[in-house]
Structure 1
Amino acid sequence: MKEFIIKQKMLRMNGQFNVKDEQGNDVYEVEGSFLKIPKTYTIQDAEANEVARITKKAFSFLPTFHLEVEGQETVTIQKEFSFLKPRYTIDAPGIEVLGTWWEMSFDVLKDGEVAGTVDKKWFQWGDSYQVQIYNEDLEKLIIALVIAIDCVKSDQSAASAASF
């Protein structure tokens, strides 16, 4: 099992932050595009190789996010039409997200087996998540999925704030 901490810093305009291992070493760097269409986040390993990319589909009726891991599109997150509570679907072959992912407390399952767990750490400056990876073959996918879900949440929060 591997454990990671994803901690976003508040007030960073470009959305840049690091993913650290349990010893506090930087393992991945995440950088968001600033004022660019489509909005993208890239995830790079310690050698600056791009391992994943999250892209918000531009000009769509309902927000849609595409997640690529090592050049292969693996996950699509799309908002469903709903009136009261925001609802999203996560489409990925063999991958399920169970739990309250809107509150960032969930399990990621691959073919019915728990491959990783995510828990939001409360009372932190900025968003901070503890990620435990049980299936190390899915490490990059799970890290990217956590960041993608957080992007969806941030996008929804920004849209809600803009509507007032």
Structure 2
Amino acid sequence: MKNLFIKQKVFSLGGKFTVKDQQEKDVYFVEGSFMKIPKTFSLMNTARDEIALITKKMFSFLPKFFVEVNGQEVLTIKKEFSFFKPRYSIDAAGIEVHGNWWDMDFKVLQHGEVVGQVTKEWFTWGDSYKVQIMNEEMETIIIAIVVAIDCVKADEAAASSAAT
């Protein structure tokens, strides 16, 4: 089992994250596009090579995000129509998310087997998440899922604050 920690930089335009290991060494970098349509988040390794891309679909009635890993689309996160509490679903071959992903407390399963677990770290400056990786082959996908869900949450928060 491997533990990674995702820390969002508080004062960044477009959204930036650093993913660190238990020794606090940088493992991945995430950079969001600023003033770009469609909005994207790029997940890069330490050599700054892009290994995953999260893209918000434009001109969609309900928000939809696509996640690509190594150029292949692996999952889609989409908002479902509901009157009260926001509901989202994740479409992917054999990948499911169980738990309260709106509060960033969930497990990632592949074909029914837990491959990762995400918990939000409280009392930190900016959003921070602890990610436990049980299957290292799924590491990039799990990190991309966390960033995509955080992007969905930020998009939802911006929409609700604009409405008030």
Range class of TM-score, shorter chain: over 0.9
Quote how far apart the aligned CAs of 1:133 are: 0.2
What are the residue-to-residue correspondences of 1:6-155 with 2, within 5 Å? 6-155=6-155
Other structure's SS at 2:153 match: helix
Q: Alpha-carbon deviations, 1:36-65, whole Å to 9, x = none?
A: 100000000011111100000011110000
Q: Distance in 1 between matches of 2:14 and 2:151?
A: 13
| TM-score, structure 2 normalization | 0.98
Amino acid at match of 2:53: R
Q: Distance in 2 between matches of 1:96 and 1:75?
A: 10
Quote how far apart the aligned CAs of 1:9 are: 1.7
| Structure 2: runs of 5+ lacking an equivalent | none
Identity across matched positions, percent = 62
Q: Which runs of 4+ in 1 moved over 2 A?
A: none
Q: Distance in 2 between matches of 1:44 and 1:157?
A: 26
Q: How many residues align?
A: 164
* Aligned-CA RMSD value: 0.7
Q: Distance in 1 between matches of 2:17 and 2:80?
A: 29
Quote how far apart the aligned CAs of 1:5 are: 0.3
Q: Distance in 2 between matches of 1:162 and 1:59?
A: 18
Other structure's SS at 1:7 match: strand
Quote how far apart the aligned CAs of 1:138 are: 0.3
Q: Distance in 1 between matches of 2:57 and 2:96?
A: 22
| Structure 1: runs of 5+ lacking an equivalent | none
